[in-house]
């Protein structure tokens, strides 16, 4: 039960943070921001939380970061773009995916560097 509560509490916080980003900068650029920032922090979390409790890892990774990022909104935007232009849709998908993977890699490196010092 503690694990479910950890995910739920983290999820509430992450979704509220995503809503705040969308409110501040708009949904279009906001989606890029939350997915890239979230990917960076999932990398940091993977490096830094390895020795923490399951509840802590679930709160941060699955709950907070998982609800902060939005694959479903990305998918919806992608399908909308594909309907208007195959090329635009594919560029969008490749760009978002590549940016998120690079951000996660930098986050993992940053998390490992911080763990050593």
Radius of gyration of the chain measured on its C-alpha atoms:
15
Is 95 among the annotated ligand-binding positions?
no
What's the half-sphere exposure (Cβ side, CA atoms, 13 Å) at 89? 12
Reference 34, options 110, 91, 100; nearest CA is: 100
Is 69 among the annotated ligand-binding positions?
yes
Reference 4, options 75, 54, 68; nearest CA is: 54
Binding residues for Na(+): 66, 69
Binding residues: 66, 69
């Amino acid at each position: 039960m503690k694990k479910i509560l950890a995910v739920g509490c983290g999820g509430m916080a992450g979704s509220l943070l995503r809503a705040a980003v969308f409110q501040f900068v708009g949904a279009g650029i906001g989606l890029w921001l939350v997915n890239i920032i979230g990917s960076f922090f999932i990398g940091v979390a993977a490096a830094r939380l390895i020795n923490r409790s399951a509840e802590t890892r679930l709160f941060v990774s699955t709950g907070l970061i998982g609800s902060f990022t939005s694959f479903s909104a990305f998918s919806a935007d992608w399908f909308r773009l594909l309907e208007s232009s195959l090329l635009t849709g594919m560029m969008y998908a490749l760009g978002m995916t590549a940016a998120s993977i690079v951000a996660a890699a930098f986050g993992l490196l940053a998390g490992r560097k911080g763990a050593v010092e």
